[in-house]
A and B are shown apart, each in its own frame.
Chain A
């Protein structure tokens, strides 16, 4: 894959993080993916994807320990944010897609 390009699932994850905004914690991100994209992702796969994307610099997280949730047994929460590189990658993907979509829309009218 060319640099700057990201896979479809990675796009979905980045968009979900952006959608979740200040509430971009792992369970919420999974819920957004499920509700908006209609995809059920296993937690294991999602966590591994976070790791991989963090390694690629597409996203990052920070630990939120100041406001502990009792159900978590003292474990901090981590809030995800999309890095500048991640935003760039999204932009590139979107433009590539839009270019590809150009002029196609009317052709798909009758299969809606």
Chain B
């Protein structure tokens, strides 16, 4: 069997060889060597080898007249293949590869700029497309899908689509204006398995209508139907593809198997297709039938409740029905449902009457109101667009510079009778080759940065199979081609219109025409845009710095929350017993400094609001608009374990925690100052409950024995945190949470705490271990994202803009070498020559800075709300950015300036 080398490479080689008499022999030689190599080293290596040889040999022949006149048996039939246009173009393309050898600096700069600028953008466009512009995978015909929103209902938010009770859903479901309607719940984390092997999975409950409504079909098995989706039906589950792969290694036998989730066991009936995430973008592991599951996991009849606004409703409009018509019908049905409910003696709040049903577009609902990832994506898109502009400007700049540099060369070639078409081809080929290589490099960067993007910033969204989709690839390819080709070919077209003689004479005098102004403007644009990005980076880095340094009011680094999730149906006494055992185990564990029990599952989270506190002198303690007052209670050692900082009075002592001890409590500083301004809080007291119960006797007014620093636990920006803390005895029943203080890094303890506590008893299904630092870190998230994003793109922009500056200056120096030479000959000092280059940088950087800072001031107004403790117009950030840019400018000027001073006057003047 004969083996053939890569056909494209061979065709390319033949084109390059053209009519050369040796062509047939060379092709044959290479074929023969290829066959030998392939037999010995395999196909891939042989292919690679052949490509190299084809390019090597081809580039030597391309564009040259066949100069073999003597000797051989020249075969006249071997030449003249194909239309000469294509042959010219292809041979020029191969010849253009030589740019990497003849102008490596220029070629590298262009490829580098394209790779970084466009690579980053390909990822961003992919993300924008996915998060904002495309429906989730497998959703069919999304134009007729609508998310329902209820408005006019006071507490129910306009924007949140999660405002439906199940009867609300039932009342619109059968309407003829709708092809179908489905209800689902937002995703919840549920424990799967139990004990040491337990893990958390993401579960979504949806009605049986959900899958058919979206138009998705199962990859294996089946989806649940109305038989599965009814109260009391045997529990079934559908697995997501990713989860199936992770947990079961894509074993099809899993269908029919049972999985334990929460307190129940579900039979797996089907697998969703790969990439399907439901109606939204977030990861889901398992879907379960809503009507079946809600009764399984709730102690009351949620499906019948008009107050349980737990559901999202999504509908598909019937064919030919307008949105307005559907809204009107649905609103009428909704109101009728509520009216009927009231008639039968049901009670609803005033805000439930007269609600209006709004049908929000399916894609809009994925849009800006949806979630954090969307906002991040928008920021990313904006920032990367700036980088794209900078990159394009830079590529154009570099290409123009090269074009102008070669003006003389072109003039010489024209003068020697090289055809004009050939000249344009030459420039076009070089641009195409650079665009191609840059495009490939950009693709590599995109793949890599895409992983980073989804891993760091869009963590809630599963990594797509293809990071750069076809649409964004095509878009970027167009941008690359436009930029490189236009900027690469323009100078040579311009050259066609000029008389080569003029160019030669002019360049002899050291003057060159055109381009300087355009290139200056392009560089100016780059500097300005970089300034904007760097200011953004500075503001976010400072915000993050502030967020890291913000004093939370307590020593949170070592604090860990531990909460037990028990097996279903466990008695309260047994739960208490397990909690106590876990507490004792943790208190004695190495690496633990102290452990206490708390009345709350998550002490210090600011979850336990209490609005019926009464204080001495003022009576009812008012509600704090941002939330609170919060109440905390814990067993002996609470103040120390939580790390509260006492600012006045004293902390609880062991005696205060004892059962039957005299009442005492501590309050936060802002509560003390807000409730008793100007008074000594240590002389005041607080009633924890209104009135009194017969059993417990009258509630005493508990004296304040100490004041602690405010705790910032709900948000970093929240600086009034009213709270009250009191001691409780160890024996108290119903204590749920455990607070642990580590004596080292809290994160190191997480695994061992979970393992040890889970091993205590099979009654413990899962152990939730949450270090406080993880919670605080999550709060810092937005600023960390902003700082990472702007810094990365800011540095990228700075590098690219510096390249631009460098190229402008290099060309300027090269073009003025004659002038500089004359000046040097006339006795200009080296310093003056450097000064000339530096003046040019200073002008570009200075003007760019002013424009960029101006833009930053204007954009700052939009940024103010997302910054943390940093004014958007910020002298120190501006100053740092200015210094960085000037430094970058000087660095970019360094080599050109040295080159200028190294010019030998004699040579410069005789060079031409």
A36-71 toward B: CB 8 Å interface, digit per residue (1/0)?
000000111101101110111101111100000111
A48 and B68 CA atoms in complex are apart in Å by 9
A54-91 toward B: CB 8 Å interface, digit per residue (1/0)?
11110111110000011111111110000100000000
Whether a CB of chain A sits under 8 angstroms from the CB of B71 is yes
Q: Contacts of A60 on B, CB cut-off 8 Å? A: 70-72
With A27-B33, A44-B59, A75-B27 as known contacts, state yes or no: A51 contacts B2, CB within 8 Å. no
Contact of B70 among A45, A56, A69 (CB under 8 A): A56
Q: Contacts of A48 on B, CB cut-off 8 Å? A: 60-61
Q: How far is the CB of A53 from chain B (nearest CB, A)?
A: 8
B58-71 toward A: CB 8 Å interface, digit per residue (1/0)?
11110000111111
User: Considering the complex of A and B, which 3 residue pairs feature the smallest CB-CB distances, nearest first?
Assistant: A75-B28, A60-B71, A54-B71
A31 and B345 CA atoms in complex are apart in Å by 102
Q: How far is the CB of A24 from chain B (nearest CB, A)?
A: 13
B40-64 toward A: CB 8 Å interface, digit per residue (1/0)?
0000000000000100111111000
With A44-B60, A50-B22 as known contacts, state yes or no: A73 contacts B28, CB within 8 Å. yes
Q: Which residues of chain B from 212 to 243 have a CB within 8 Å of any chain A CB?
A: none
Select from chain A the residue with minimum beta-carbon distance to B59: A44
Q: Contacts of B26 on A, CB cut-off 8 Å? A: 26, 47
A77 and B32 CA atoms in complex are apart in Å by 10
Q: Contacts of A74 on B, CB cut-off 8 Å? A: 28
Q: How far is the CB of A59 from chain B (nearest CB, A)?
A: 6
Whether a CB of chain A sits under 8 angstroms from the CB of B300 is no
Check B28–A44 contact: CB distance below 8 A.
no
Q: Contacts of A62 on B, CB cut-off 8 Å? A: 72-73
Q: Contacts of A59 on B, CB cut-off 8 Å? A: 71
Seen from chain B, the residues whose Cβ lies within 8 Å of a Cβ on chain A are: 2-4, 20, 22, 24-36, 53, 56-61, 66-73, 75
Q: How far is the CB of B34 from chain A (nearest CB, A)?
A: 8
With A62-B73, A76-B25 as known contacts, state yes or no: A45 contacts B60, CB within 8 Å. yes
A76 and B75 CA atoms in complex are apart in Å by 11
A70 and B35 CA atoms in complex are apart in Å by 10
A59 and B72 CA atoms in complex are apart in Å by 9
In the complex, how many residues of chain A place their beta carbon closer than 8 angstroms to a beta carbon of chain B?
Answer: 32
Count chain B CB atoms within 10 A of each CB in A26, A63, A72, A78 and give the residue with the most: A72
Check B73–A61 contact: CB distance below 8 A.
yes
A47 and B3 CA atoms in complex are apart in Å by 24
Q: Contacts of A63 on B, CB cut-off 8 Å? A: 25, 72-73, 75
Q: Contacts of A27 on B, CB cut-off 8 Å? A: 29, 32-33
Check B57–A57 contact: CB distance below 8 A.
no
Other CB < 8 Å A-B pairs besides A26-B25, A52-B67, 10 of them?
Answer: A47-B26, A55-B67, A55-B71, A60-B71, A61-B72, A63-B73, A72-B32, A74-B28, A75-B24, A76-B25
Check A54–B72 contact: CB distance below 8 A.
yes
Q: Contacts of A25 on B, CB cut-off 8 Å? A: 29
Q: Contacts of A77 on B, CB cut-off 8 Å? A: 25, 28-29
Q: Show 17 residue pairs from A and B whose CB-CB distance is below 8 angstroms, ordered by the A residue.
A: A26-B26, A27-B29, A45-B60, A47-B60, A51-B20, A51-B66, A52-B67, A54-B72, A56-B70, A60-B70, A61-B71, A63-B25, A63-B75, A71-B3, A73-B31, A77-B29, A83-B71
Q: Contacts of A61 on B, CB cut-off 8 Å? A: 25, 71-73
A74 and B31 CA atoms in complex are apart in Å by 10
Q: Contacts of B2 on A, CB cut-off 8 Å? A: 70-71, 73
Contact of A71 among B25, B31, B60 (CB under 8 A): B31
Q: How far is the CB of A9 from chain B (nearest CB, A)?
A: 15
With A26-B25, A42-B56, A76-B28 as known contacts, state yes or no: A51 contacts B67, CB within 8 Å. yes
A27 and B25 CA atoms in complex are apart in Å by 11
Q: Contacts of B3 on A, CB cut-off 8 Å? A: 71
A25 and B30 CA atoms in complex are apart in Å by 12
Check B29–A26 contact: CB distance below 8 A.
yes
Check A69–B20 contact: CB distance below 8 A.
no
Count chain A CB atoms within 10 A of each CB in B20, B30, B67, B70 and give the residue with the most: B70
